[in-house]
Amino acid sequence: MVAQSPVADLVQEEEFPGPKVSTPEEVLRYSIDTGGGIYHAIGSAAMGPNDDDVVDSRLRVRGVSGLRVIDASVFRQQPSGNTAAPTMALAWRAADLIEQGE
């Protein structure tokens, strides 16, 4: 998307990882070589409907009373942009759930 007009007209150059890093394999190699990545870490406590999913739809950790996870680790998939806004929306939803006693 960034390589297409009109956005491309506003970009001078890509700083990192660089235009030569575009496939999943190249991203992995870049991460191994530099210690950095392109994506934000998410999903380690993914929310879902199944008993083996870490967090339920109310953000409660299954099997642990009184504990919720309210960060990007509950996202099952990488958001299409920065994780800040989706995480803030998650926190607002969590505040509503907690306030309602759910």
The burial of 82, by beta-carbon neighbours within 10 Å (0-12 exposed, 13-18 middle, 19 or more buried), is given as exposed
Question: Which sequence spans correspond to the domains of the chain?
Answer: 1-38, 40-102
> In this predicted model, what pLDDT tens digit does every residue of 31-77 receive, in sequence order?
888 887 666 778 888 899 999 999 999 999 999 999 999 999 999 88
* Residue pair 54/24 in contact by the 8 Å Cβ criterion: no
pTM of the model: 0.60
State the catalytic residues.
40
In this predicted model, what pLDDT tens digit does every residue of 6-44 receive, in sequence order? 888 888 877 778 888 888 899 888 888 888 766 677 888
Residue tagged 């956005």 (tokens)? 7
